[in-house]
Amino acid sequence: MVAFGTLDTPVGVIGVVSDGTAITRLGWRAPAPEGSGSRPDPLLSEALAQLRAYFAGELTTFDLPIDLGAQTATTHAVLTALHETVGYGTPVTYGQLAARSGTDVPARGIGSIMGANPIPIIVPCHRVVAGDGLGGYSGGNPGEGLATKRWLLELEGALPASLF
């Protein structure tokens, strides 16, 4: 059985899924998964508490087990490199992440992999930027992807606060 919870954040309501041993999904517009129960799940409670602390500016490193699910070996390598080597407030370019992952994925391919990330924020795809700007972002409420990415990077001190 899986557990599902939501958290109202400054960038919209996010849903979090736990299978009791790992966080398996996080996303906006995420409905409760089929088969999710209302039983208490300590891991889900901890994930929601850590996310609350992150959005309050009080947490810089998540300490949660994650499961990326079924992925290609390349996608798994890139997302694992992102999760393990890109710290709070430290953006990397698509090309830098490709090099860190040890794959031969071109920068454009890294962008596609970021869009397939099942656990954004915890696996911080918002920290991956283009060499000449923010790049893209599919997280956030509909039509607010880049604004969400900017907000998250501002929260982490990686970008100066927007004047407008």
In the numeric block, which tokens belong to residue 19? 């299978």
Buried (b) or exposed (e) across 19-28, using 16+ Cβ within 10 A? beebbbbbbb
Given a contact cutoff of 8 angstroms between Cβ atoms, the answer to whether 106 and 11 are in contact is no
C-alpha to C-alpha distance for 14 and 82, rounded to whole angstroms: 21
* Nearby residues of 39 by Cβ (< 8 Å), 6 or more positions away: 1, 3
What residues are labeled active site?
A: 125
**Inter-CA distances, 156 with 59, 101, 153, Å:** 10, 23, 5
